[in-house]
Chain A
Amino acid sequence: MAGATARAEASAVRADAPHRARRPLGRRIGEAILPIFTALVVAYLFLPIVVMIAFGFNDNVGRFNFTWQGFTLEHYATVFSSQPRMNQALVLSFTVAVISTVVATTLGTLIGLALARYEFRGRGPLNLLIFLPIASPEVVLGASLLALFVSVGMSLGLVTIVIAHIMFNISFVVVTVRARIAGFNRSLEEAAMDLGADEMTTFRKVTFPLIFPGILAAALLAFALSIDDFVITQFTAGQTVTFPLWVYGASRIGVPPQVNVMGTIIFAVALLGILLWSLLQRRERTLRAGTGPGVGAGS
């Protein structure tokens, strides 16, 4: 009954002012579409990952792993034993990622500090130049690096891959860390020095702990970028095979399900990292919320 009344009222309104009824109607359609639209986008984003995870459990026959043939956990049991070349490639990728992350994070943090803190000649150009590796196409970067390595007579391999990865990672680290330092209250460091801490102690006790979340974010980003880099690595690897290169090679003769399993494991680790990160961010926000009135408004 109530429904009928409401409907009657609604139609009355529509009859009275048709032009006014149009907007609510549009909005109603919008409200109905929005969840569907969102669901589609989410599906679009996650479907590949779901497929990857699912086919890690596929009891496939033959070289190919493209059609569902039944559930098995076997590939998880054999992930490290059945594909020795994949293991080697994985170890190599991790080595490259760890080294390039550590070096790029250290150098990038220092450059970020310098750029955010000090006035020096060439600071403006450097600020722009740091974006170049981010902005230029990977193919071009890779090709140029290859040309460079060949012309100076370096043999391609682990060393050249690491150099290349450090190169593009530094830019990302600098940009991340610099943003973090820009929001940093300078008077905290002055306060530390005022209380008797020399430059080194000030950095250890105040600056570093406060910009650490930014550095950590930069390191995670660098690691992620390095571990799955394909294009630049392809150019600079020579005969060396990293995990992405191996997967690419394998896919031409049929992807073994162990790749899916490996992918799932890496995905799980990354997910964990992200969770950890957002927890840190939340703690951070409560810290930041309370640095007192007038923060950053030094006179």
Chain B
Amino acid sequence: MPQPDVRLDRVTKRFGDVVAVDDLSLVVEHGEFFSMLGPSGCGKTTTLRMIGGFEETSEGTIYLGDADVTDLPPFRRDVNTVFQNYALFPHLTIYENVAFGLRRRKIPDGEIRHQVATMLALVELPGYERRRPHQLSGGQQQRIALARALINHPRVLLLDEPLGALDLKLRKQMQIELKRIQTEVGITFIYVTHDQEEAMTMSDRIAVMRHGRIEQLGPPEDLYERPSTDFVAGFLGVSNLIEGEVAGRDDRFAAIRLPDGTVLRAPSASVNGAPRVRVGVRPEKLRVLALTDEASSAANGLNTLDGVILDASYIGVSTQYLVEIASGQRLVVYAQNIETSGAAEAHPDGQRVRLTWRPEHTFVIGAAPMTPSDEQPEGEIHA
């Protein structure tokens, strides 16, 4: 039975009039790779800094294990942080940087030497002891920052966009590296990022944040396949949303009627009682069929919508279509080029087509439509 390592209980943080974190509750299990994902200014860093002890809470309680640490200074909390800018001590050698935490606990020299060597081996930088931080590349500094934190075997490691300063290739490499190290040491990671791909790659669970609140929390797959709000649907990739009304439901599926009378089916579990909803489907779940072979599709229990191809762009691995359906709404479709071999075989512009997809791949959102403020999340006050 997993036991919680970190628990935030109705935590709020205000900076003057700005509510940076708004009544946020959260449980992170032991050994979990937990990510906080969200747009700039949504309160990720502030949340992390409150867990680390660098920012006082305005309201609420923070627990590490069973202990209430809300009012403890950083040096009394069993957590360590990897800072975005690494914050390596420029006046100390790599050895002394990594040994800093152990020295504070008065560990004997021999033991320190052994542990530093082990740590440097773990981050694959053995033999760098006598260098200074400025003699390392960005990626190497990042590893040292990680080693410096991990050597203390904290209960929880906090990472604030640790890969933000690295180029794309190094980023990808370090993502795998970080995940390897986390599995190896078995320490709980709380990872802050605004890169959804990064969060999806590494995390066991993700909290999508917005305006200082958690919008949705769950494993990456849940968030992607079954987003519960527009915001989550839009933040984790592209999605098509069509307005409709719940017309009925049974154990497995709910029927949703569109204004033009078409009925789509979606898993019953995703309908939460609101009568007016939006039906969503990811672009890669859609199949495009020329209207000539229509006979087969509807009978197979698939959702179908008819439309006209507005635009087709061949991009090698897939072809992207923009399809206008009866209501005038435009849907995006990513068609894998499994059987086609070139732009010539794509459906031409203006062709009448039928889009089909499986009801299981449909998600339903019952909330209010997206507000314009989502275009500029920064500086928004959400009371």
A residues sitting closer than 8 Å to B (CB atoms) are: 185, 187-188, 190-198, 201, 205-206, 209-210, 286-299
Contacts and interface: CB of A to CB of B under 8 A. Distances in A.
A201 B74 CA distance: 13
A299 B84 contact: yes
Given A291-B90, A294-B164, A194 B52 contact: yes
Given A291-B134, A293-B138, A299-B45, A192 B100 contact: yes
A196 B101 contact: yes
A22 B241 CA distance: 72
Contacts of A290: 90, 132-136
A68 B53 CA distance: 72
Interface stretch (B75-83, B242-250, B277-285, B353-361): B75-83
Contacts of B90: 188, 210, 287-288, 290-291
A49 to B, nearest CB: 36
Interface string B338-366: 00000000000000000000000000000
Contact of A194 (B74, B86, B88, B141): B74
Given A188-B90, A195-B75, 6 more contacts: A185-B87, A188-B89, A191-B83, A192-B100, A196-B152, A288-B90
Residue among B100, B138, B164 with the highest chain A CB neighbour number at 10 A: B100
A198 B72 CA distance: 12
B85 A287 contact: no
Contact of A193 (B45, B75, B161): B75
Contacts of B136: 290
A190 B54 contact: yes
A190 B75 contact: no
Contacts of A299: 45, 84, 160-161, 164
A195 B84 contact: no
Contacts of A191: 81, 83, 87-89
A196 B105 contact: yes
For the complex of A and B, 8 pairs with smallest distance between CB atoms: A290-B134, A196-B104, A195-B101, A191-B87, A294-B85, A193-B74, A293-B165, A187-B87
Contacts of A288: 90
Contact of B165 (A190, A198, A291, A294): A294
B104 A292 contact: no
B379 interface: no
B134 A287 contact: yes
B73 interface: yes
Contacts of A209: 91
B143 interface: no
Interface string B103-134: 01100000000000000000000000000111
A14 to B, nearest CB: 53
11 contacts: A191-B83, A195-B75, A195-B104, A196-B101, A209-B91, A287-B132, A289-B134, A290-B90, A294-B85, A299-B161, A299-B164
Contacts of A192: 89, 100
B148 interface: yes
Given A196-B152, A290-B134, A293-B165, A201 B87 contact: no
A291 B133 contact: yes
B87 A195 contact: no
Contact of B138 (A188, A197, A201, A292): A292
A195 B85 contact: no
A291 B84 CA distance: 12
A190 B84 CA distance: 12
Interface string B40-65: 00000100000011100000000000
B156 to A, nearest CB: 12
A128 to B, nearest CB: 24
A190 B83 contact: yes
Residue among A210, A286, A299 with the highest chain B CB neighbour number at 10 A: A299
Contacts of B80: 194-195
Nearest to B96: A205
Contacts of B148: 195
A288 B88 CA distance: 12
Residue among A201, A205, A286, A291 with the highest chain B CB neighbour number at 10 A: A291
A109 to B, nearest CB: 18
A191 B53 CA distance: 11
A190 B152 contact: no
Residue among B91, B160, B164 with the highest chain A CB neighbour number at 10 A: B91
Nearest to B81: A194
Contacts of A185: 85, 87
Contacts of A289: 134
Contacts of B86: 292
A298 B85 contact: yes
A196 B75 contact: yes
B102 to A, nearest CB: 9
Contact of B75 (A198, A287, A297): A198
Nearest to A283: B91
Interface in B135-170: 135-136, 138, 141, 148-149, 152, 160-161, 164-165
Residue among A201, A289, A292, A293 with the highest chain B CB neighbour number at 10 A: A292
A46 B53 CA distance: 57
B87 A190 contact: yes
B91 A210 contact: yes
A195 B83 CA distance: 12
Contacts of A188: 87, 89-90
Contact of A206 (B81, B89, B101, B133): B89
Nearest to A297: B85
Contact of B85 (A196, A206, A286, A292): A292
B96 to A, nearest CB: 9
A249 B53 CA distance: 62
Contacts of B104: 195-197, 201
A194 B149 CA distance: 9
Given A193-B73, A287-B90, A291-B88, A298 B83 contact: yes
Contact of B133 (A193, A195, A292, A296): A292
A118 B135 CA distance: 33
A205 B100 CA distance: 10
A266 B265 CA distance: 93
Given A188-B89, A287-B90, A291-B133, A195 B138 contact: no
